[in-house]
């Protein structure tokens, strides 16, 4: 157990924007109604101008505002650990390092973007944000950030989570947010869903549609989201920029960089500064492994196409790996990995063979989470448990090759609010069900009428 800390004055003062370094440009977002490229004005009802500019910026470095850095300092720089006890348990010559984002007040990497989003909205006079949340991690991060910048937060929480996870709701309320079970009767789209199915359990896609509708129709309210889009990934690069310095202190450089992927933000946050090193040719051989759940295998079994980000088709149409915006994954416990698409920039890196995706069943992931807790002490969330599964594979590969490879992984959050999942795991109640291809095919039949992309 070796901890590598940075001092506060080593907190990065800029985020890294990968867009200008990508080998090929991202396709533009399309307007959901016209399917024509969107301009900044189209996004103005949803986002503050500072964020819209970041979304399409061609600048490699973007300054982190001082008030955001002041809040980051509550828990940043986060520690990087050498996991020598895990190495021993895995009986591997590999050296394993993990970056631990669970030290934030909300318990995950999500505040890295929630804080600047609340800040930029407040700076432009917006005092109310609407958002969605599935398992509750993003909603609680934005509730936390809203409390600090005096911005009201309204959270559409997927009904099944609202009913099953009252503690996540209570956490958001403690930070002052209002939380409603989605679908609600507050929005046109919510009402239309309830009319068809009064007992709808909701879905992330529905909740996004409700939050977008509220922001689009209320002058005083903007929308905020926690993954997928460029500005979110940008904000998360504070993780990787710190990790670069910490690996230097450790006198090591990763042979492989690993993380779990839902929308892609925690993985991009850690990986992109190292991807930049590969793209520039300074470290051309680093490998990048993205771990996703077999129940929601966007990168391994999705298609690369333009698709809606939300169920109602009210938000931008985005080029990405997708299982179809109507795909509803099985109720696995890694709630943060149950999104039907992925960040466009990450999809580009997958298509180019720079990032290698792998899909895992949840029991094998929980087995690694338990091994981690018993060796390294910290209790992983179900999402980074997927990344730990990939770590175990890479550690085994290093052993077979007889090489002391260096592995770097993002432990993106703790599992304190996910003990029911551990409980189910120990009781043998966690299901590993194969995902039939028909379910993917039927969801993919409903893609928007945009010409197919080359994949």
CB atoms under 10 Å from CB of 329, counted, come to: 22
For the chain, the maximum distance between any two Cα atoms, rounded to a whole number of angstroms, is 61
DSSP 357-370: EEEE-HHHHHHHHH
Question: CA-CA distance, 269 to 237, in Å (whole number)?
Answer: 4
Q: Is 230 helix (H, G, I), strand (E, B) or coil?
A: helix
Among 33, 35, 44, 170, binds its own copies (CB under 8 A): 170
Could you say whether residue 176 binds its own copies (CB under 8 A)?
A: yes
CA 278, distance to chain mean position in Å, is: 22
CA 23, distance to chain mean position in Å, is: 23
Could you say whether residue 249 binds its own copies (CB under 8 A)?
A: no
Question: CA-CA distance, 87 to 82, in Å (whole number)?
Answer: 9
Least distance (Å) from its own copies to the CB of residue 355?
A: 31
Least distance (Å) from its own copies to the CB of residue 404?
A: 22
Could you say whether residue 88 binds its own copies (CB under 8 A)?
A: no
Judged by CB under 8 A, the chain residues 42 through 81 that form the site for its own copies are 70-71, 73-74, 81
Q: Which residue reads 């997958």 in tokens?
A: 350
Among 374, 404, 433, 452, binds its own copies (CB under 8 A): 374
Q: Smallest Cα–Cα separation from 311: which of 116, 180, 156, 147?
A: 156
Question: CA-CA distance, 30 to 316, in Å (whole number)?
Answer: 6
Q: Is 282 helix (H, G, I), strand (E, B) or coil?
A: coil
CB atoms under 10 Å from CB of 39, counted, come to: 13
Among 46, 90, 130, 171, binds its own copies (CB under 8 A): 171
Could you say whether residue 378 binds its own copies (CB under 8 A)?
A: yes
Could you say whether residue 373 binds its own copies (CB under 8 A)?
A: yes
Could you say whether residue 272 binds its own copies (CB under 8 A)?
A: no
Distance, first Cα to last Cα, the chain: 43
Least distance (Å) from its own copies to the CB of residue 120?
A: 19
Among 23, 37, 39, 166, binds its own copies (CB under 8 A): 166
Residue 83 backbone dihedrals phi, psi, to 5 degrees:
-90, 65
- Looking at the chain, the number of H-run helices and the number of E-run strands are 18, 15
DSSP 159-225: HHHHHH-HHHHHHHHHTT-EEEEES-SSSHHHHHHHHH-TT----HHHHHHHHHHHHHH-TT-EE--
Q: Residues touching its own copies: how many (CB under 8 A)? A: 45
Least distance (Å) from its own copies to the CB of residue 1?
A: 6
CB atoms under 10 Å from CB of 263, counted, come to: 27
Least distance (Å) from its own copies to the CB of residue 70?
A: 6
Judged by CB under 8 A, the chain residues 132 through 151 that form the site for its own copies are 144, 147-148
**Given the complex with its own copies, which of 320 and 388 has the nearer CB atom?**
388
Question: CA-CA distance, 310 to 423, in Å (whole number)?
Answer: 32
Question: CA-CA distance, 382 to 420, in Å (whole number)?
Answer: 11
**What is the contact mask toward its own copies in residues 103 to 132, using x (rule: CB under 8 A)?**
x-x-x-------------------------
**Given the complex with its own copies, which of 31 and 371 has the nearer CB atom?**
371
**Given the complex with its own copies, which of 327 and 417 has the nearer CB atom?**
417
Give the binding range for its own copies (CB under 8 A) out of 20-28, 31-39, 210-218, 367-375.
Answer: 367-375
**What is the contact mask toward its own copies in residues 398 to 417, using x (rule: CB under 8 A)?**
----------------x-xx
Beta partners for 174? none
H-helix or E-strand containing 120? helix 111-123
Among 20, 44, 88, 174, binds its own copies (CB under 8 A): 174
**What is the contact mask toward its own copies in residues 310 to 349, using x (rule: CB under 8 A)?**
----------------------------------------
Could you say whether residue 419 binds its own copies (CB under 8 A)?
A: yes
Q: Is 84 helix (H, G, I), strand (E, B) or coil?
A: helix
Give the binding range for its own copies (CB under 8 A) out of 205-213, 262-270, 338-346, 421-429.
Answer: 421-429
**Given the complex with its own copies, which of 228 and 369 has the nearer CB atom?**
369
Q: Is 302 helix (H, G, I), strand (E, B) or coil?
A: coil
Question: CA-CA distance, 339 to 316, in Å (whole number)?
Answer: 15
**Given the complex with its own copies, which of 153 and 317 has the nearer CB atom?**
153
Give the binding range for its own copies (CB under 8 A) out of 239-247, 292-300, 373-381, 397-405.
Answer: 373-381
Binding-site ranges for its own copies (CB under 8 A): 1-3, 5, 7-8, 70-71, 73-74, 81, 85, 103, 105, 107, 144, 147-148, 166-171, 173-176, 369-370, 373-379, 414, 416-417, 419-420, 422-423, 426
């Amino acid at each position: 157990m070796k901890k590598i800390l940075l001092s506060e004055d080593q907190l990065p003062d800029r985020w890294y924007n990968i867009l200008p370094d990508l080998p090929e440009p991202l396709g533009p977002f399309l307007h959901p109604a016209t399917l024509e490229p969107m301009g900044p004005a189209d996004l103005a009802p949803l986002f503050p101008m500072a964020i819209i500019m970041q979304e399409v910026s061609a600048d490699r470095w973007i300054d982190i505002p001082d008030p955001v850095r002041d809040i980051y300092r509550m828990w940043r720089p986060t520690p990087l650990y050498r996991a020598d006890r895990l190495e021993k348990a895995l009986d591997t010559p590999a050296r394993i390092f993990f970056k631990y984002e669970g030290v934030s007040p909300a318990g995950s990497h999500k505040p890295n973007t929630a804080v600047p989003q609340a800040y930029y909205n407040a700076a432009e006079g917006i005092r109310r944000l609407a958002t969605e949340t599935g398992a509750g991690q993003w909603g609680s991060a934005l509730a936390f950030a809203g409390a600090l910048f005096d911005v009201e937060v309204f959270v559409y929480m997927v009904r099944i989570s609202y009913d099953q996870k009252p503690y996540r709701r209570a956490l958001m309320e403690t930070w002052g947010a209002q939380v409603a079970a989605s679908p609600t009767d507050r929005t046109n789209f919510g009402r239309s869903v309830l009319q068809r199915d009064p007992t709808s359990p909701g879905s992330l896609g529905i909740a996004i549609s409700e939050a977008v509708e509220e922001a689009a129709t209320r002058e005083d309210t903007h929308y905020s989201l926690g993954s997928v889009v460029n500005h979110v990934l940008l904000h998360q690069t504070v993780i990787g920029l710190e990790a670069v310095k910490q690996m230097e202190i450790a006198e090591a450089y990763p042979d492989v960089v690993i993380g779990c992927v839902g929308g892609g933000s925690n993985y991009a946050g850690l990986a992109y500064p190292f991807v930049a090193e590969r793209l520039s040719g300074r470290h051309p051989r680093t490998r990048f492994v993205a771990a996703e759940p077999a129940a929601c295998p966007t990168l391994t079994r999705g298609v690369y196409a333009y698709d809606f980000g939300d169920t109602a088709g009210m938000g931008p149409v985005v080029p990405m790996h997708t299982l179809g915006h109507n795909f509803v994954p099985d109720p696995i416990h890694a709630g943060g990995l149950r999104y039907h698409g992925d960040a466009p920039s990450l999809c580009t890196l997958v298509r180019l063979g720079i990032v290698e995706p792998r899909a895992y069943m949840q029991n094998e992931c929980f087995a690694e989470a338990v091994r981690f807790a018993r060796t390294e002490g910290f209790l992983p969330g179900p999402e980074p448990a997927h990344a730990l599964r990939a770590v175990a594979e890479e550690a085994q590969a290093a052993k077979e090759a007889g090489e002391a490879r260096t592995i770097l992984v993002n432990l993106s959050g703790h599992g304190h609010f996910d003990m029911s999942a551990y409980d189910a795991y120990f009781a043998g109640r966690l299901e590993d069900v194969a995902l039939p291809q028909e379910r993917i095919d039927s969801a993919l039949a409903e893609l928007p009428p945009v010409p197919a992309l080359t994949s």
